[in-house]
A = this chain, B = another copy of it.
């Protein structure tokens, strides 16, 4: 059964290529990924790839767009529609979200951003504008809500909402670099982190140092 050399599938091509590229970038990083390889993975000729993406860099950006943006949208939606208390939200849906991130494709792209970011300023600009700043805003919103309704005392977390997600980034890197040398249960680590932070900022805590 000879596979047809020639399939006409305009609709699906971009996604097919984007997914293949995702895999390849994840394995090798941007520079070391060969356009040829992406095309082969996508079952497509190099020429066709260039029909949809004008340069390798465009392709990279498209990958970022299609895999990372949805994650942030998801987080924003969660925050906006949740009717839980701030603490319940952080221990529940947010924790689940944070735990699965390091294993999702989006995480791999975080690695790529770190590696390739400095060489692609317009890409980091896009990433900040469309992804990171929204994520940060969502975290802020949760914390402010907790403070507003008396769950949390005012704390440095108000100024540094990033502190909620530092172990997520750490997990991404551990999984990529060290997991084969020392297994780390990132789910439990992230849970432990959230727990520690919540203990520290709970309003009912008698701990009032400073």
Contact = CB atoms under 8 A, between A and B. Distances in A.
A162 B128 CA distance: 27
A: contact size bracket: 35 or more
Contacts of A167: 162-163, 166
Pick from A167, A176, A202, A209 the residue with the most CB of B within 10 Å. A209
Number of identical monomers bound together in the oligomeric complex: 4
A109 B210 CA distance: 36
Nearest to A125: B181
A130 B132 CA distance: 34
Contacts of A40: none
A54 B29 CA distance: 24
A29 B125 contact: no
B160 A192 contact: yes
Contacts of A173: 114, 169
A188 to B, nearest CB: 7
A1 interface: no
Interface in A135-184: 136, 155-157, 159-160, 162-163, 165-167, 169-170, 173-174, 176-178, 181-182, 184
A105 interface: no
A205 interface: yes
A45 to B, nearest CB: 15
16 contacts: A27-B118, A29-B116, A30-B31, A111-B115, A114-B173, A114-B176, A114-B177, A128-B177, A159-B188, A163-B189, A163-B196, A170-B170, A196-B201, A199-B207, A202-B207, A205-B207
